[in-house]
Amino acid sequence: MHTLLQPDNPVMSFITRITYSVYLNILWFICCIPIVTAGASTTALFYVTLKMADNEEGNITRQFFHAFRGNFRQSTRVWLIMLAVGIALLFDGYVFYHMRFENAFWTIGTAIFIVAAAAYLIVSMYIFPLMARFENTTRAMFLNSIVIGMRFLLCTAMMAVIYFAMLVIIIRFFTPAVIFGEGFCAFLCSFLLTGILKRCEPPAAEEASEEDPELNKELA
């Protein structure tokens, strides 16, 4: 029992990180309240949880707000684009659902909508962690998000399951679980993402730039 309660014990370490994720979820929610700041808040959340996954976290609050300020402009720009596209997709989904006509236009339109919605979900899961870890243009962030998401489909599927499971638990079974919410989801997803993001770090980009300087602009 004494060994189990040691701070460096893996079980206690994991429990401590879960507690941190709850605290981060509260910070994330508060910083999302103005709505327009939700992108910067999500990027800051992943900045900290990715460090937690690598056992590199320090002062949680300080790191969160450091990332919040440092990524505010790009994250806000990305978030507003994502918000606008998300609203458009919701409207299109509503229209296609209520049309339900068995003709060529409805079939083709629905197929395009499904592909667009899937791409949107993939980008939404990857773009904020990418901004938390790398510096790049907004265009490159969007491109890299969809490329990485498609390349690592197993990771993408597991992340989708994590978010979906949390949503179902909160809505259907245990509403107070909202205290974990995005913070715990980001924490779990960061363990899946850390290995993938390390493969995209600067050394690979530098080698690519020696062969083709233009290619490096599109690498995360």
HSE on the CB side for 137, CA within 13 Å? 8
- CA dihedral sign, ordered 40, 43, 45, 51: negative
Contact 31, 40 (CB under 8 A): yes
pLDDT tens-digit readout, 4-56: 445 556 677 778 888 999 999 999 999 999 899 999 999 999 999 999 988 88
Mean pLDDT computed over 164-188: 89
Of residues 8 and 126, more confidently modeled:
126
Least confident piece of the model among 8-22, 47-61, 117-131, 135-149: 8-22
Question: What radius of gyration do the chain's Cα atoms show?
Answer: 19
